[in-house]
């Protein structure tokens, strides 16, 4: 069966080498050095041979460009990443039918220029952002032109990936997060916080056609639907010093209905209950298949097995399953073939 992996990560070799050269904190790229499928295209193609019908939409892997390069260098890094992903797509269209553009988010004018080049010249099918830009929220007014341009001018989806490191502590008394809590639970929280900021700052009211694909099945939102629904129907009742109740009255929908406007993927490491929960909350037409390849204990192939197994065991109607595996991605990316 055809499967389009809408969130597969890559560090093209030329980009990877440049990233390793300029990265000030070698510890920040420690994990990436140990996963050949991430930067070795031949290793990736060999792995994919074991999965007939499997294709990948290429997205640049962590770390965010703006984390490793200042605003003077980040535009060059984004151009390199996008050029290399376009070359991979062109050389192997049967395996990689599309790629998503990376942007130098710490240089907004350059990000807008690169978005135009990547979409109109290279044929990128969307853009990727992270849940914060070196600690700044995505609803910072400086970043608004990026979302407005993606939605209004190009009508392309926005892939949103969590970004949170050990420096974001679990307790105020400590200097770093312990036991990789920053990743296991911090990333779902980070994604949920970014989604909330978009909802309450009016992203979907000002850009009703905006399509944001959230990684990991919408993070915490489906599981906490009661808090997001009836809980946020009481928005403002817990807060003084801010007119949140007035904001709630001005919103054109219930908060939970805005959260339902996000798109989500199945990259939950093979967890069947989480996928079921996500499908109960989001319209199945807004769910795309994704594996998070190659970030599994085997360095690539494990989630390509376990996530389809989890989806198949849900015994979904055939049209719903087809939509998740390939139909929704084709529609979202405006692709009719490949």
pLDDT (tens digit per residue) in 13-27: 999 999 988 877 666
Q: Is the pLDDT of residue 81 over 60?
A: yes
Give pLDDT, residue 338. 47
> What does 327-338 look like in DSSP terms, one character per residue?
IHHHHHTT----
pLDDT band at 47 (very low <50, low <70, confident <90, very high): very high
pLDDT (tens digit per residue) in 156-194: 999 999 999 999 999 999 999 999 999 999 999 999 999
pLDDT (tens digit per residue) in 250-279: 999 999 999 999 999 999 999 999 999 999
Q: What are phi and psi of 2, to 5 degrees?
A: -65, 135
pLDDT band at 86 (very low <50, low <70, confident <90, very high): very high
The beta-carbon contacts of 242-248 under 8 Å, at least 24 apart in sequence, are 247/200
pLDDT (tens digit per residue) in 286-334: 999 999 999 999 999 999 999 999 999 999 999 999 999 999 999 999 9
Cis peptide before 230 (omega within 30 of 0): no
CATH 3.40.50.2300 correct for 3-221+262-332 = no
**H runs (alpha helix) in the chain:** 13-22, 36-39, 41-48, 65-68, 74-91, 108-120, 144-148, 181-184, 186-200, 203-206, 225-226, 244-250, 255-259, 272-281, 302-312, 318-322, 328-332
Give pLDDT, residue 62. 92
Q: Is the pLDDT of residue 5 over 50?
A: yes
CB 136 within 8 Å of CB 71: no
pLDDT band at 30 (very low <50, low <70, confident <90, very high): low
Give pLDDT, residue 111. 98
Separation of alpha carbons 198 and 83, rounded Å: 30
pLDDT (tens digit per residue) in 118-146: 999 999 999 999 999 999 999 999 999 99
**Average of pLDDT values for 198-205?**
98
Cα of 279 vs its chain's centroid, Å: 18
Q: Is the pLDDT of residue 31 over 90?
A: no
The proportion of the chain whose per-residue pLDDT surpasses 90, expressed as a percent, equals: 94
**Average of pLDDT values for 29-55?**
91
Q: Is the pLDDT of residue 57 over 50?
A: yes
């Amino acid at each position: 069966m055809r499967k389009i992996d809408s969130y597969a990560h890559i560090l093209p070799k030329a980009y990877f080498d440049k990233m390793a050269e300029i990265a000030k904190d070698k510890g920040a790229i420690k994990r990436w050095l140990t996963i050949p499928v991430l930067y070795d295209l031949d290793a990736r193609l060999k792995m994919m041979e074991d999965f007939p019908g499997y294709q990948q939409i290429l997205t640049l892997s962590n770390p965010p460009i703006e984390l490793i390069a200042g605003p003077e260098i980040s535009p060059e890094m984004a151009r390199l990443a996008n050029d290399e992903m376009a070359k991979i797509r062109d050389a192997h269209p049967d395996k990689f039918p599309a790629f998503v553009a990376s942007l130098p988010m710490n240089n907004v004018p350059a990000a807008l220029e690169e978005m135009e080049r990547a979409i109109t010249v290279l044929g990128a099918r969307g853009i990727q952002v992270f849940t914060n830009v070196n600690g700044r929220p995505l609803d910072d007014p400086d970043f608004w032109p990026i979302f407005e341009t993606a939605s209004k001018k190009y009508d392309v989806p926005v892939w949103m990936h969590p970004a949170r490191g050990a420096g974001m502590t679990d307790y105020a008394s400590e200097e770093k997060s312990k036991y990789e809590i920053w990743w296991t639970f911090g990333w779902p929280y980070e994604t949920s916080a970014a989604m909330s900021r978009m909802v309450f700052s009016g992203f979907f009211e000002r850009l009703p056609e905006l399509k944001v694909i959230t990684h990991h099945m919408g993070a915490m939102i489906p599981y906490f639907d009661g808090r997001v629904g009836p809980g946020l129907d009481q928005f403002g009742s817990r807060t003084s010093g801010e007119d949140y109740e007035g904001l709630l009255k001005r919103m054109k929908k219930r908060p939970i209905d805005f959260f339902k406007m996000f798109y989500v993927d199945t990259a939950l490491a093979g967890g069947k209950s989480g996928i079921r929960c996500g499908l109960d909350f989001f319209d199945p037409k807004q769910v795309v298949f994704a594996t998070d390849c190659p970030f599994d204990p085997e360095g690539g192939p494990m989630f390509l097995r376990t996530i389809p197994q989890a989806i198949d065991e849900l015994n979904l109607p055939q049209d719903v399953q087809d939509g998740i595996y390939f139909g929704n991605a084709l529609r979202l990316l405006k692709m009719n073939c490949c």
